[in-house]
Amino acid sequence: MTLFTDLNLSQPLLDALAAEGYAAPTPIQTQAIPHVLAGKDLLGIAQTGTGKTAAFALPMLQRLAANPANRKPMTCRALILSPTRELATQISESFRSYGRNLKLSVLTVFGGVGHVPQAKALRAGVDILVATPGRLLDHMREDNIRFDHVEIFVLDEADQMLDMGFIHDIRKVVARLPRKRQSLFFSATMPGEIGKLAGDLLHEPERVQVTPVATTVELIRQRVEFMYPAEKNAALAEALRSPEMTRSLVFTRTKHGADKVVRFLEREGIAAAAIHGNKSQNQRERALSMFKSGDIRVLVATDIAARGIDIDAVSHVVNYHLPNIPESYVHRIGRTARAGASGVAISFCDNEERAYLRDIEKLIRRPIDAEDRRGKIVANSADIAAPESTDLTRGELRRQQGPRPQHKAGGRPGNKPANKPGQRPQHAKGGKPGGHHGHGKPAQGHGKPHAGRPGGGKPHRGQGGGGNGNGGGNRPMMPTEPYRPRGDGDLGSMPMMRPVRLPE
Ligand code: AMP
């Protein structure tokens, strides 16, 4: 096994790594660090979660520190471009933490925050500048910064830059860089346009590649739950009440959808925050720090906001909406398998999303185990989501589920008063919404059987019968046994899982 001491890193960096608690380099670090230390250009195919930030930050810090230069006004020695503010912040934090024993300055520049303090800091000059393209161009136009002293240039998450329409901005920045420089280029995927950009930017690069996009997913226990759109809220609340879901990242397709989910969860007494492009920088930072500190266990995010966010110990990723871009699925679920940890990904799939699911399965080259829960999730009265597709309407769903259960009054988290006639039912103490477990009725007893659907007649474990009236019949969302992939990488060994293929 390679150790950090085998990589010719200087003592101040080794000390910082020891303080971080990193035992050994990750594969991308082992491969990339020697090339970057040697001053070579690098093309890195790696996604976040592989340790790629340290793979470039460590050797860059070493090279910059080995050749101290007086700080000149309006210049930087290293420029790192990142697609999102969150990723820029994380990269800066990594540089600061790995470079804690060195005397190099780090500045982060992105939009959504005050312009003037950034302009002032840029004019003073900085060693390492981490920026998002838009705001950097503003500063460039205002002559707050020049790039003629850049020694090392890094383009991180290049494919995301392309998706976000930053390619032209990047080319404008690159046009101002000195020809003699070291360039490092990282991307999780290599679509044609990104390959061309890499070809234009890099000079005789070394190429390193780790965990192609389709294989990181092997660490993650994945399941799909088929349901009607109107059932998603209740299913989410039910899932989040599981004690196993210690830190969950919930993905929605739209910003509006993220806000709606947060409002619903708050009504359910589940503290959550949303993070997306319409939130101010302060709101985003606050949401992230509450999530990191454990003040909230649920963060609801859109793809772009969550891309590159580095949060340790995310236990579950929930795809409230399946992404329409299959690669986003891999990026999303990768949040729960940081630096080799394993995690769980649950995807709620309605009828209209089944085409997305097929694309995802094609990309990851395996079927995802699925369970058909359509019509089986007892929605929690008014909290039920408005249907978002042509699947069952709210009324149809209610009719299918039959009369709502009458619960004992009081005792629900949040302690709402007992019901008066005509009011929404309250749940018995400790009971989950949709807690028909306590009534001893089989789940299927409420609705019409789904003719011809595999598994449609069997109650799910823990659902239906066996309720004890105190809501204790919680069906574990995920198997409690540790997951051991079979030698052939087949996920079919997951307990309780059975592939379900719905009729087209
Ligand atoms: P990244 O891919 O750069 O976003 O890194 C993902 C996570 O892995 C971050 O939380 C890093 O702090 C962590 N990490 C990076 N390198 C190592 C390492 N060698 N050992 C353990 N954790 C690491």
Residue with CA at minimum distance from ligand 1 atom 14: 51
What is the atom index within ligand 1 of the atom nearest the CA of 53?
A: 3
The sheet with strand 206-209 has its strands ordered as: 106-109, 126-131, 76-81, 152-155, 182-187, 42-45, 206-209
Are 340 and 25 in contact by the 8 Å Cβ rule? The answer is no
Query: Which pLDDT score is estimated for 42?
Result: 98
Domains in the chain, start-ordered, CATH in brackets?
A: 4-209 (3.40.50.300), 220-401 (3.40.50.300), 438-504 (no CATH)
- Whether this model's pTM surpasses 0.85: no
| Neighbouring residues of 455: CB distance < 8 A, sequence distance ≥ 6 | 371, 372, 498, 500
Is the CA virtual torsion 108, 111, 117, 120 positive or negative?
Answer: positive
Q: Which of 31, 53, 213 to mutate to test the pocket of ligand 1 (most atoms within 8 A of CB)?
A: 53
Crossing angle of helices 255-267 and 232-240, in 10° steps, is 60
Closest to 222 in 3D by CA, of 494, 5, 504: 494
Distances (CA, A) of 68 to 28, 95, 145, 147: 27, 16, 20, 18
Please tell me the distance between residue 290's alpha carbon and the centre of ligand 1 in angstroms.
21
Fill in the amino acid letter for 464.
Answer: G
Q: pLDDT tens string for the chain (504 positions)?
A: 789 999 999 999 999 999 988 888 988 999 999 999 999 999 999 877 788 999 999 999 999 999 888 789 999 999 999 998 889 999 999 999 999 999 999 999 999 899 999 999 999 999 999 999 999 999 999 999 999 999 999 999 998 898 888 999 999 999 999 999 999 999 988 888 889 999 999 999 999 998 654 455 677 899 999 999 999 999 999 999 998 898 999 999 999 999 999 999 999 999 999 998 788 888 888 998 999 899 999 999 998 777 656 677 788 999 999 998 887 888 888 777 665 556 899 999 999 999 999 999 888 878 899 999 999 886 543 344 444 433 444 444 444 444 444 433 333 333 333 333 333 333 333 333 333 333 333 333 333 333 333 333 333 333 333 333 333 233 223 222 232 222 222 222 223 333 444 443
Query: Which pLDDT score is estimated for 304?
Result: 72
Query: Which pLDDT score is estimated for 310?
Result: 67
Q: What share of the chain is helix, strand, coil (3-state, %, to 5)?
A: 40, 15, 50
Residues with CB under 6 A from ligand 1: 22, 25-26, 29, 48-54, 310, 312, 338-339
Residue with CA at minimum distance from ligand 1 atom 16: 51
Q: Which of 26, 87, 330 to mutate to test the pocket of ligand 1 (most atoms within 8 A of CB)?
A: 26
Q: What angle do CA 376, 382, 388 make, to 5 degrees?
A: 65
Residue with CA at minimum distance from ligand 1 atom 11: 51
Query: Which pLDDT score is estimated for 337?
Result: 66
What is the atom index within ligand 1 of the atom nearest the CA of 94?
A: 12
Q: Which of 3, 20, 314 to mutate to test the pocket of ligand 1 (most atoms within 8 A of CB)?
A: 20
Query: Which pLDDT score is estimated for 53?
Result: 94
Fill in the amino acid letter for 243.
Answer: P
Please tell me the distance between residue 29's alpha carbon and the centre of ligand 1 in angstroms.
10
Query: Which pLDDT score is estimated for 182?
Result: 98
What DSSP state is assigned to residue 349?
A: E
* Residue 328 to residue 251: CA distance in whole angstroms: 10
Residue with CA at minimum distance from ligand 1 atom 15: 51
Closest to 229 in 3D by CA, of 275, 259, 261, 255: 261
